[in-house]
Structure 1
Amino acid sequence: MDTETVILGGGISGIAANYFLGKDKAAIIYEQRDSMGGLCDNFSIGAFKFDTGIHLSFTSFKEVREVFDMTPYYTYSPEPMNYYKGLWLKQPIQNNLFPLTPEEKVKAVKDYIYKPVQADDFENYKCWLYSKYGKYITEHFFLPYTEKYWCERAENMETSWIGNRLYLPEIDEVLYGAMSSATPNRYYAQEMRYPKEGGYKAFLKPMLSKVNINLNKRAVKLDSSHKLVEFEDGSKVYYENLISSLPLPALIKIMKDVPSAVKEASENLSATSLILISIGLNVPQDESKSIWFYIYDKDFLPARAYYPGLKSKSNIPSHQSSLQFEIYYSRSKPLSMRKEALAEHLIRVIEKLKLANRKDVLFVDIKNIPYANVIFDKKLYFNRNLVRQYLNNLGIQSIGRFGEWDYLWSDQSFMSGKKAAEKLLNM
């Protein structure tokens, strides 16, 4: 079988690539799973619906809004919270220190005022944190959370990924937030959107009717010299153009005759994996809660959690509620706890955070997501550039979070697929 354009991976970037190719290029998506959407996919447990992670849209890209806005949605002001040693602090913590003790607030504010001054050429993320927030805030909040979320020590990470993701308050804001809880919302997005029905994946629905996708097609061999892809079921496809959203290490692993330097570079690319724990509760949704929150205590494995029913009541049955927790691990920080122990740990977390009682738990579902986030270690750019240049020389476009190997949100992955389509259309 011959196809003009083969797209490996049916996540948002692959779907967008096919969508924008339209009828001008004969394109087919090949997705290894039995469902499309990738990290934007969802699943149901009885009448409970869960996304694969938090997922709220705050895109400003016109092209993304034109597609997403075809789906009826709710609008929210993002007001996440942070759990720290029995306290609930508003986000961002650095200018919402009010719940801390007077002694802690004095230390945090003094360290913020007298933080070390450094030029913008930071040696690593740890240096960046000390320079921006001072010793107390860095050591009590940012460093512990870095190890929970990124599974890496801050001194081993670089800083180009930060962008506007971390807020840098003026001293007046820090002082005010230490004395009052009535602080303005300083989150990096002021409005977030979520579909009224169908979970986050519903935002992709306008594209799905216009794409050609084959499910349960796991690519196991790629022969770039003959432009041939072979699949686990024994089928094959020849292509003229190849677009891939597969993780770079996974793509290189199935390719034929890859130079040893490129193989080594791909193997040294680091990413976190995700244990996604979805919990059904036999209690009504508490409307006073925040949609999502971060957990800083080292004793609790989850890094963050959210209430699906606060995004849309269509995600939960009447008079019931749900929670979803995210636990991250990596090659350098493995997680060996069995599912039964993880379920018990999460029930204890729920009780200690006073979110629900053990007797309220209807089920605990545990899923493993092999690729969650790119880890921005100091060797990332050398290794990534070597791999992507090799693919580029073969005429292979690599797209999406793990194809570009970058910190891309869903809208940026959408635009990555669109860019690949435009490149082919302009050839």
Structure 2
Amino acid sequence: MPETIIIGAGIAGLAAAYQAKLQSRSAEIYESRDRAGGLLDNILIDGFCFDTAVHLSFASEFAVREVFDRTPHITHIPVSLNWDNGYWLKHPAQTNMHPLPAEEKVNLIKGLINAESGNICNYQDWLVQQYGYEIAERWPLKYTRKYWTIEAARLGTAWVGQRMRKADISEVLMGAFDSKTPNQYYVKEMRYPERGGYKAFIQHLIDEANIHYNLKAICVNFAEKKVTFSGGLEVAYERLISTMPLPELISIAKDVPDDIKQKADSLYATEIDLISVGFRIPNVSPALWFYIYDEDILASRAYSPNRKSPANVPEGCSALQFEIYWSREKPRNLSIEEIKQNTLQAIIKMGLAHSEDIMFMHHTYVPYANVVFDLGMEERRDVVRSWVERQGVSLAGRFGEWEYLWSNQSMMSGLNAYIRAWSA
């Protein structure tokens, strides 16, 4: 019997196995796919290397840096752009309005000055009180519909943290008058592997782990401490760490109370169609990554693999990857070819390239992207998590904990889940 079973070979599961090794214990990972890495896996196409959506590391935790820094990396200043109906604006848009016509800037700034304060009941309240309605509707409210797939009024605010820069009238005015504004991103630098894509940061963990591939968990019996996998394999365990999506874990567990099932069923996440594009010309993208506000463009965000590292593309080429988000609240109603065609039109509209410059457009579907923090989600989720943990299971990772975790936080989640599992 393995001392510890870990479901899922994403960064959290790999980190849990790494912690077991540090403590001279055994751990076995069971992965449903034929590859490890989860959301940090890469996509290889004809000499091009794409990540699974945009990834850049700004980890500060010693335990994470001790692993990531084994990999030779490039350091980037995190400067990104916004595309807004014919204008390229530095990010964040509200403090970089210089390219906009004077009349538009005046209207947006007046909205900020006249923004009223009051009770904040949802994310829309937060945005409107922070930026004024005009700025909020011009950028973050519109982006929310594309990225989160629901209206901001249906989202809570606990997830925001430092992800959104708060409005400061002095910064807004300076950015309206002058294009030479300081970088206002919430970190000063980001790191990316020289070769091998973002996955290279965790390749050491993959190489050192005991991973069983193509085995999907289909039943968990907490009382008997057994997990059944596809193909009928049944494995008993002393300790169990799950990084699989929390609602899925509940759906395959035996003897779950009805109220726990109902709360788990209410949890949902976005999913992504990734369109990875290879170009036969260099330097297509104007930035490491950029946000897209045009409502006729499906993608909400795109990033440049070759700006992350020149090794991600063949010599003389460049690449972009576009992210299109859906959810059960906004199901996809288009074919892959229609999504590709929309992406092509976006490339041309933004003046990035011509159709003859494109070598390929590749589609990847990712079933879990971001946990949706709809109103009251945290309370429902916490009830489910508490019940699972009372069954002697440690939860880890973005979808295991059902939390908004970056890659460094997901790694720490896995390390801590293992420690919790053996301290119980």
TM-score, structure 1 length as denominator?
0.97
Cα distance in 2 for residues equivalent to 1:85 and 1:197:
35
For 2:419, the aligned partner's letter is: E
Q: Note if 1:91 corresponds to 2:88.
A: no
Cα distance in 1 for residues equivalent to 2:423 and 2:224:
24
Q: Tell me what 2:199 maps to.
A: 201
**Preserved contact between residue 9 and residue 244 of structure 1 (Cα < 8 Å):** yes
Cα distance in 2 for residues equivalent to 1:425 and 1:25:
10
- SS state at 1:326 partner: strand
Q: CA deviation at 1:379?
A: 2.2
- SS state at 1:103 partner: helix
The structure 2 residue matched to 1:304, chosen from 301, 319, 326, is: 301
Q: Tell me what 1:246 maps to.
A: 244
Q: Tell me what 2:47 maps to.
A: 47
Q: CA deviation at 1:425?
A: 4.0
Cα distance in 2 for residues equivalent to 1:250 and 1:365:
28
Q: CA deviation at 1:422?
A: 1.7
Paired positions, count = 423
Q: Note if 1:394 corresponds to 2:394.
A: no
Q: Tell me what 1:29 maps to.
A: 29
**Preserved contact between residue 21 and residue 425 of structure 1 (Cα < 8 Å):** no
For 1:217, the aligned partner's letter is: L
- SS state at 1:397 partner: strand
For 1:243, the aligned partner's letter is: I
Q: CA deviation at 1:25?
A: 2.5
- SS state at 1:182 partner: coil
- Structure 1: gaps (5+ residues): none
- SS state at 1:405 partner: coil
Q: CA deviation at 1:9?
A: 0.5
**Preserved contact between residue 24 and residue 425 of structure 1 (Cα < 8 Å):** no
Q: Tell me what 1:12 maps to.
A: 11
Cα distance in 1 for residues equivalent to 2:176 and 2:359:
40
For 1:148, the aligned partner's letter is: K
Q: CA deviation at 1:320?
A: 1.2
Cα distance in 2 for residues equivalent to 1:336 and 1:169:
36
RMSD: 1.2
**Preserved contact between residue 394 and residue 418 of structure 2 (Cα < 8 Å):** no
* Residue-by-residue CA offset, 1:137-158 (whole Å, 9 max, x unaligned): 0111111100100011111111
Cα distance in 1 for residues equivalent to 2:178 and 2:136:
21
Q: Tell me what 2:223 maps to.
A: 225
> Which residues in structure 2 correspond to 1:381-420 (within 5 Å)?
381-420=378-417
Q: Tell me what 1:101 maps to.
A: 101
- SS state at 1:230 partner: strand
Q: CA deviation at 1:114?
A: 1.6
The structure 1 residue matched to 2:370, chosen from 355, 369, 373, is: 373
Q: Note if 1:167 corresponds to 2:165.
A: yes
For 1:415, the aligned partner's letter is: M
Cα distance in 2 for residues equivalent to 1:289 and 1:173:
23
> Which residues in structure 2 correspond to 1:51-90 (within 5 Å)?
51-90=51-90
Cα distance in 1 for residues equivalent to 2:210 and 2:336:
37
- SS state at 1:368 partner: strand
TM-score, structure 2 length as denominator?
0.98
Cα distance in 1 for residues equivalent to 2:355 and 2:68:
38
For 1:404, the aligned partner's letter is: E
For 2:89, the aligned partner's letter is: L
Q: Note if 1:325 corresponds to 2:309.
A: no
Q: Which moved more, 1:21-30 or 1:122-131?
A: 21-30
- SS state at 1:3 partner: coil
Q: CA deviation at 1:78?
A: 0.6
For 2:124, the aligned partner's letter is: K
Q: Tell me what 2:125 maps to.
A: 127
* Seq. identity, %: 46
**Preserved contact between residue 14 and residue 417 of structure 1 (Cα < 8 Å):** yes
Query: Which ranges of 4 or more aligned residues in structure 1 deviate by more than 4 Å?
Result: none
